[in-house]
Chains A and B, each alone.
Chain A
């Protein structure tokens, strides 16, 4: 990504940097690469994501194929191609876990991105512009908060019927609220800082100041919250699926697998442990990555 050779003498690096100019993003990337936990998190996360995307194509069993010869939960066995065994219906556990990862990661990523975009925009505008705009936007957020999720979901189902895409709508509608509140709070404290006033005196417009000064300064906190939101969304998806709004059998997700596995914990703990291990590993990696990103985005921390 960046062409700076870390082994080059410091003076040469400084000159090179001066010539090329240094942006916050390049710097952040370089600092992120210097953070071992974050790099390890990134690598493992990429491995899990890659396995979820292409793994199901490579396995001998499909996620929904039932092995009629092993209807009971089968322990791991190489001969049959069930590398991590089967569930109680005789479906390959590894295939299901990887396929579930595809769904869970996609939901986590898409819904969080949506929450991020809406939440940050609303929060920054409300906090920075203030006054009536702030009142209006935040009262709307309060209103949305007060609607119970289940109720919201039922309304959506009544109006639109069962629909996979509605799940994103429901999750997005809930998750951006907290993001908006966090960003607004941060923006409020930033707004009165002298450097914002200096930017205004330098001729910056409101949009300009939000993009150039507010956003880079709230990003650290936002990153942390994003890494907390992704797992939350993944769990929310399983809840919605349970209500019948999300994905349906035989499709699956980590949340659903863990749900099913928990029911058979005593007879067949494997069905819980395997998807749970994937999910917790993902969450850990996200946390390391989030911490690393926050540090990387703060120039004071190097």
Chain B
């Protein structure tokens, strides 16, 4: 086993949120990411799933140092990124890229597609002539399935899928080693999702990229990931290989999520038991004591309110945070 490229240890991102009156309000910590640890090796895809607001985007941004971590470490090739100064961080940035959820919002409306795709080159390969940049941009556009004659168009002249291809071209032009995909297809039309996913997978294979694939679409995650991490209120509920997560989910929350995925066969869909996640997500400002999932957990008992469940091993590479996972 090769040593992991990326090692995240006890990562916490807490936002200070104003609460209370206009004049005498106090600041409360919002624990968007609260003590996450995982490894990612070269060429591996880790799927990250969870409901809206559980801290998926925050995690992705904190890993790329787009948001400051409150505590914990993000080690890239053994080097802690959170401790680097600006210049050192910039040198590392060329290996780490991100693909955003909203394709249009992630492109500067006043820049042409060509300039957008060329931006990382202009930042990192300053010696490159403009002809060489143009050639690289053209090549990249062909790779992502855009006509090179579109270089001079502005983002609003493209469809959502095309915008996402521009975003992918920008992320891939420096041949990164780590790419965070923050719900790259959830804003896209269903008919083009598969194409964009396959495009990402092609790049991953060709460049041996380690990928963090964030999504709340479990079928997409199943298609692309080797391992899957299930988050709830900023904490890991379960982390396991894809087949274990989908075949033998141990955590009540994972089980509920998997059951929520619609089955294409209407008979089976109707026949499946209704154990969906009931109730609303608790306020992240005031998470439940003990196990954060207990307010919605069908198996919750008295111990769940008292003690925070730690991640336990439930098989090779399978970790679960639940007092009752054995039941």
A residues at B contact (CB < 8 Å): 14-15, 17-18, 21-22, 24, 193-195, 197-205, 208, 212-213, 216-217, 297-300
B110 at the interface (CB under 8 A from A): yes
Contacts of A194 in B (CB 8 A): 100, 102, 105-106
User: Do A17 and B93 touch (CB < 8 A)?
Assistant: no
28 intermolecular pairs with C-beta atoms under 8 Å apart: A14-B149, A17-B152, A18-B152, A21-B130, A21-B152, A195-B109, A197-B106, A198-B167, A198-B170, A199-B108, A201-B66, A201-B96, A201-B97, A202-B119, A202-B120, A202-B123, A202-B170, A204-B123, A205-B90, A213-B108, A213-B110, A213-B111, A216-B108, A216-B111, A217-B108, A217-B109, A299-B156, A300-B154
A201, B105: Cβ atoms under 8 Å? no
Chain B interface size, under 10 / 10 to 19 / 20 to 34 / 35 or more: 35 or more
CB proximity to A under 8 Å, residues B93-135: 93-94, 96-98, 100, 102, 105-112, 114, 119-120, 123-124, 130, 134
Determine whether B233 belongs to the interface, using a CB cutoff of 8 Å to chain A.
no
9 further contact pairs, Cβ within 8 A, besides A195-B108, A199-B108, A201-B97: A22-B152, A195-B106, A201-B64, A202-B170, A203-B93, A208-B123, A213-B111, A217-B109, A300-B109
Nearest A residue to B112 by beta-carbon distance?
A22
Q: Which residue of A lies closest to B114 (CB)?
A: A21
Q: With the chains together, A205 CA to B123 CA distance in Å?
A: 9
- State in angstroms the CA–CA spacing of A79 and B304 once bound together: 104
Contact of A203 among B109, B124, B149 (CB under 8 A): B124
- Considering only CB atoms, which chain A residue lies closest to B96 in the complex? A201
Residues of B within 8 A of A300 (CB): 109, 154, 156
Contact B90 A299 (CB under 8 A): no
CB-defined contacts of B86 to chain A, threshold 8 Å: 205
With most chain A CB atoms within 10 A of its CB, the pick from B100, B102, B119, B134 is B119
Per DSSP, are chain B's interface residues mostly helix, strand or loop, or mixed? mixed
Is B285 part of the contact surface with A, judged by Cβ < 8 Å? no
Q: In whole angstroms, how far apart are the Cα atoms of A298 and B106 in the complex?
A: 17
Which 8 pairs across A and B sit closest by C-beta, in order of nearness? A203-B123, A299-B154, A194-B106, A22-B152, A202-B120, A216-B110, A194-B105, A195-B108
Q: With A14-B149, A17-B152, A22-B152 as given contacts, are A201 and B110 in contact (CB-CB < 8 Å)?
A: no
- Which A residue sits closest to B152, measured CB to CB? A22
- Asked if B199 is at the interface of the complex by the 8 Å CB criterion, the answer is no
In the complex with contacts A24-B110, A216-B110, A197-B123 CB distance below 8 A: no
- Determine if B152 and A195 form an interchain contact, defined as CB atoms under 8 angstroms apart: no
B130 CB, min distance to chain A CBs, angstroms:
8
**Complex Cα spacing A150 to B17, Å:** 43
**B108 to chain A: which residues have CB within 8 Å?**
195, 199, 213, 216-217
The answer to whether A299 and B110 touch across the interface, beta carbons within 8 angstroms, is yes
**Contacts known (A203-B123, A205-B90); A197 close to B66, Cβ less than 8 A:** yes
Cα-based distance from A147 to B43 in the complex (angstroms): 62
Please, which residues of chain B bring their CB within 8 A of the CB of A298?
A: 109-110
Task: Please give the distance in Å from A206's CB to the nearest CB on chain B.
Answer: 9
Q: Kindly list chain A residues whose C-beta atoms are within 8 Å of the C-beta of B93.
A: 201-203
Q: Which residues of the partner chain B approach A21 to less than 8 Å between Cβ atoms?
A: 114, 130, 134, 151-152
A213–B105 Cα gap in the complex (Å)? Answer: 13
Interface string of B60-97 (1 = CB under 8 A from A): 01001010000000000000000000100010011011
Measured in the bound complex, the distance between the Cα atoms of B93 and A51 in whole Å is 56
Picked from A14, A201, A208, A217, the residue with its CB within 8 Å of the CB of B98 is A201
**Contact between A195 and B149 (Cβ–Cβ < 8 Å)?**
no
Cα(A264)–Cα(B306), bound, Å = 88
Minimum Cβ distance to chain B for residue A215 (Å): 10
Measured in the bound complex, the distance between the Cα atoms of B108 and A213 in whole Å is 7
Given contacts A198-B98, A198-B106, A208-B123, contact A203 B90 (CB under 8 A): yes
Residues of A within 8 Å of B110, CB to CB, are 24, 213, 216-217, 297-299
